[in-house]
Structure 1
């Protein structure tokens, strides 16, 4: 890898245009909410939040005046119900806003809201952020092309996102990876290969270890691990093709090393093919909605001309697909990338069907001759 930084500058937020907003409205992603991102910026004070090992988490816990806190708490409870329930307010008296945390690190500067049910002490989180077209495209593509569904809402300049549970990748690598058994490490290596391929295909960048979580799932007597992105700001923005490969970030070196130790080349290629095939099937099953989203992206400005030009050239060098040479927007590049994956899948499937038909005809001919 060259010494050039993969990501050299902070990405700006892109506005949600009317075309994208109509898409969101059509697919049930917009609804009026009682509080905006800017309302939460009116905090009067804050303290740093530390983890169990007394390390600074880069989050601060914010405080409001007594009068404003009551109004803000009520509004956030209503947002929670709108996001995760049917919006009714019968249960508001059983909900408590335990904490409002603010993060100045990263692009989105989110507020993290901790909501607790006082009847049983169960709690969950959701996030309040400024809208960013890049992030919204990333959320939609994750919902359509990954194994996971995502719940979020957009209202004017405010984005409400549900919490994605899991162990942050950097924490898992530092504290848990070495404690895993050999079979678990092999499974994690497999999942990282598939995750790497998934990010590449849908052009989701900046998957450093703190931008994804690792989710342990108990399966009979075993524990299997899934990897989920939690940051979608870098959807179709950077010009360097390597930015869309998690394997090229130094923070992921332990995972890359694990892949080299636990998997051979044929297994790695097998898992890549599996992931491409699964994504191709999701493209086909979500075709109408995906076409609508890509149409929005093609007419949207979510990157710079220099980055678009560089990316389309680098992808052309990688695929040799002439379609990439004429791309003028990130939406067009992504459209041809997904078309490339789908076309290859359909070509292989067609060849397999033809081979099966030919074998069936040959077997039938052999039976007839024997009779």
Structure 2
């Protein structure tokens, strides 16, 4: 199946409803920032950014007129301080905005800001994007249901995201996977199975290889690999269940083949159960916060009617849970999917407790 037939042509940006805005304020995600996405669009010119192989990265490095550069630099330093520190200006003298890059590819068209500490040349990035309710739901769900915390801020029509460090999946697959040891490939296969399951459970779509990163972690005498999503634009929008399963994108074919070669079917099933159980535990531990977010999503029109009809039918075919046929919104489907995972986990745990008591 081609990419064009699998994905919708273009996903619209959805506004932040008042209920979601109140949620963001309650959990310290909403904040006043000194610069907006539109401010950064006032660049005077741009040059293409090439990678180390001389290929176009689809980013351009923008520059501003002298009359605006100083104000923009100061505002971006303040955003950095709010995102990573206490928001004060005492660190400004040690910061330099080395680059402002603009992405010409994809829906969000973000700005990537490179900030360097002039005392030691350490640098980091953050992103300035247009606000989209889908992306906010995706970021919050990633924060609560994945192994990773996320730092982001929202102000009106502007979204600030911290940089997620790692090796882009497509780069890793092309340049580094061939030199991995057999045990490392088996571990990567395991991680891809878990990543695939996690995306499907929380309805995060479009995880093509360039929308996630692979993170090598050195542990004693070996390297452990983790897979982490970096693009949350396609949260709860598409109608085809395959969109929420990374295994069906042609860009991930190499990883799918790795799973087939390195893991037995029983092992694949085991890792799926492990990931579902971990997500269920995170749902339970997140308490009232995830319930509030999902309740808001249930009333929020973040998809199209035809997508909702298609997805609830696809998930019913997978789970045979008739409740999915009763869903009216994409948030309803998300709520029921998370509840399905939680209930299954609790049912298994209760059976184990009962069986243990019977044996005693």
Partner of 1:111: 111
Matched, 1:246 2:251: no
Q: 2:42: which partner in 1?
A: 42
Q: Equivalent residue for 1:263?
A: 263
Q: How does 1:54-69 map to 2 (within 5 A)?
A: 54-69=54-69
Pair 1:147-2:147 in alignment: yes
Tell me the secondary structure at the aligned position of residue 161 of structure 1: strand
Structure 2 portions without partners, runs of 5+:
none
Give the Cα separation in 2 of the matches to 1:42 and 1:48.
Answer: 17
Task: Name the SS for the 1:19 alignment partner.
Answer: helix
Quote the Cα distance in structure 2 between the aligned partners of 1:222 and 1:164. 23
- Residue 163 of structure 1 pairs with residue 163 of structure 2: yes
- The aligned residue for residue 345 of structure 2 is 345
Map of 2:223 onto structure 1: 223
In the alignment of these two chains, the number of paired residues is 360
Secondary structure at 2:247 match in 1: helix
Matches within 5 A, 1:161-310: 161-310=161-310
Q: Hey, what does 2:71 align to over in structure 1?
A: 71
Deviation, 1:4, is: 7.3
CA shift for structure 1 position 8: 3.1
Contact 2:110 2:127 in 1 (8 A): yes
Shift of 1:287: 2.3
SS in 2 for 1:239: coil
Q: Is the Cα contact below 8 Å between 2:3 and 2:249 reproduced in 1? A: no
| Alignment partners' CA distance in 2, 1:187 and 1:62 | 40
TM-score between the two structures when normalised by the length of structure 2:
0.99
Pair 1:136 & 2:136 matched: yes
3-state DSSP class of the match of 2:54? Answer: coil
Report the counterpart of residue 363 of structure 1 in structure 2: none
CA shift in 2, pair 1:154/1:179, >3 Å: same
* Paired position in structure 1 for 2:30: 30
For the residues of structure 2 that align with 1:2 and 1:345, how far apart are their CA atoms? 36
CA distance in 2, matches of 1:52, 1:357: 63
CA distance in 1, matches of 2:110, 2:329: 28
Does the residue aligned with 1:200 lie in a helix, a strand or coil?
helix
Which ranges of structure 1 fall in alignment gaps of 5 or more residues? Answer: 361-371
Deviation by residue 1:160-218 (Cα, 9 ceiling, x = unmatched):
00000000000000000011000100000000000000000000000000000000000
| Segments of 4+ moved more than 3 angstroms | 1-4
Deviation string, structure 1 residues 248-307 (Cα, Å, up to 9, x no partner): 000000000000010000100000000000000000001210110011101101100010
Q: Find the residue that maps to 1:5 and give its secondary structure.
A: helix
User: Which residue is 2:98 aligned to?
Assistant: 98
Name the Cα RMSD after superposition.
1.0
1:31-77 residue CA offsets vs partner (Å, 9 max, x unmatched): 10000000000000000001111111000000000120110000000
CA distance in 2, matches of 1:3, 1:156: 33
CA distance 1:228–1:318, shift in 2 (3 Å): same
SS at match of 2:205: coil
Offset of 1:110 from its aligned partner? 0.2
Which deviations, in whole Å up to 9, do the C-alpha atoms of 1:71-123 show, x marking residues without a partner? 00000000000011110110101000000000010111000000000000000
CA distance in 2, matches of 1:333, 1:135: 17
Distance (Å, rounded) in 1 between the aligned partners of 2:147 and 2:116? 28
